[in-house]
Amino acid sequence: MNIIRPITNADYASLYDIAEESGIGFTSLPVNDTLLHNKIDRAEASFNKAVTQPGNESYLFVMEDTATGEVVGTSGIEAAVGLDDAFYHYHLGKVVHSSRELKVHNTAEILTFCNDYTGVTEICTLFLRERARGGLNGRLLSKVRFLFMMEHRERFSETVIAEMRGVSDDNGKSPFWEWLEEHFFSMDFPTADYLSGIGNKVFIAELMPKYPIYVNLLSQQAQAVIGQVHDKTRPALRLLQEEGFSCRGYVDIFDAGPTVEANLSHVRTAQASRKLPVVIDDQTAAQGQTCYIINTSVKDFRAVATEMTVSEEQQVAVLSRQAAAALNIKEGDAVRFAPVKYSN
């Protein structure tokens, strides 16, 4: 069985391997010892912190194969972005140039540099190792974050976003960044992406063009990738779209990948979730349906995907002994859960 739990310092070697495997463009996991250690330390502090409103907390989860003890994936939540470091985007909008006298009416797309998402919650750092891809693993890594946020709403903003990796090749060549590099930065995409990932963002404010950029002035290659995602990111984007996320015109300033957003209360998994006390009964649990299930702890958070049954008459969730042990709960404790498959 795979479980999801908070990261600890004992997971450092696994996190480093995941950072290497994730590749260029996966900004939230830079291959840097100091930054990865800091990421773990910050997550441990956040899981142990008493919180009444979202701040600079960072929650990083890992998926562990309980049979082998191997960490096979990560998933994260930033409670409120842009409070300590500036959080930049381009917003894709339109301007109209018209002359009634000349009977000319032209609409042009523009990219405007902004900090519009400051203070919102970001889901991030979702990566599943190649050998673990299959079954419900990817969905479990993604969806448990919505259950966690729903259970602990005081820790998060109502607006939730996700930055999707934009188009770049295996060598880190980004068509969008190439245009910016040529005209403003004189720095290749892997370098800019790495600097941003380690928190060195001063160069962005110093070198980024301050005025809106007319999209039709960009190269054809750069225009073609605005709002498009990396091939490896398509499954993650589909999952979020199923949950109700959509792009409101915001794109990444480096590779022009889309940022998608939703209100937590409208996210499908969060909306469908229920919270009930637990009864442990192997036979009854096995007759139920597969659900994503979390305990209600922060510090000792656990999540699994397994069969369970709901007794509507008794208003209890019936779990197996194995599931209860994986979730680190006993009979009478509460769980929050959502179905893997919906009836409609």
Length of the chain: 344
Strand bridging mode 274-280 / 316-319 = parallel
Domains (ranges, CATH) in the chain?
2-88+116-268 (3.40.630.30), 273-339 (2.40.40.20)
What are the start-end ranges of the H helices in 208-287? 220-224, 234-243, 268-272, 282-286
User: In a 3-state reduction of DSSP, which class is residue 223?
Assistant: helix
Beta-bridge mates of residue 164: none
Mean pLDDT score, 329-333: 96
Cβ atoms 220, 179 nearer than 8 A? no
Taking Cα atoms as reference points, which of 40, 50, 36 lies closest to residue 299? 50
- Judge whether 97 counts as a catalytic residue: no
* Residue of 89, 152, 230, 266 marked active site: 230
The stretches of the chain forming alpha helices (DSSP H) are 12-22, 33-47, 137-151, 175-180, 189-197, 202-207, 220-224, 234-243, 268-272, 282-286, 321-327
For the stretch 213-223, pLDDT in tens is: 999 999 999 99
**With contact defined as beta carbons under 8 Å apart, do 111 and 92 qualify?**
yes
What percent of the chain is modeled with pLDDT above 70? 94
Question: pLDDT-based confidence at 203, cuts 50/70/90?
Answer: low
Mean of the pLDDT values across residues 278-289? Answer: 95
Among 233-242, 320-329, 333-342, the least confident range: 233-242
* Alpha carbon distance 232, 251 (integer Å): 18
CA distance 189 to 217: 20
pLDDT, average across residues 302-324: 96
pLDDT at residue 26, as a whole number: 67
How is residue 235 written in tokens? 């499954």
Confidence of residue 206 (pLDDT cuts 50, 70, 90): confident
Tokens of 176: 């969008």
Placement of tokens 């980024």 in the chain: 208
Give the SS3 label for residue 252: coil
* Amino acid 315: pLDDT: 96
Q: Which residues of 316-341 are buried (b: 16+ CB within 10 A; e: fewer)?
A: bbbbbeebbbbbebeeebebbbbbbe
Q: How much is the mean pLDDT over the chain? A: 91
Whole-number pLDDT of residue 22: 81
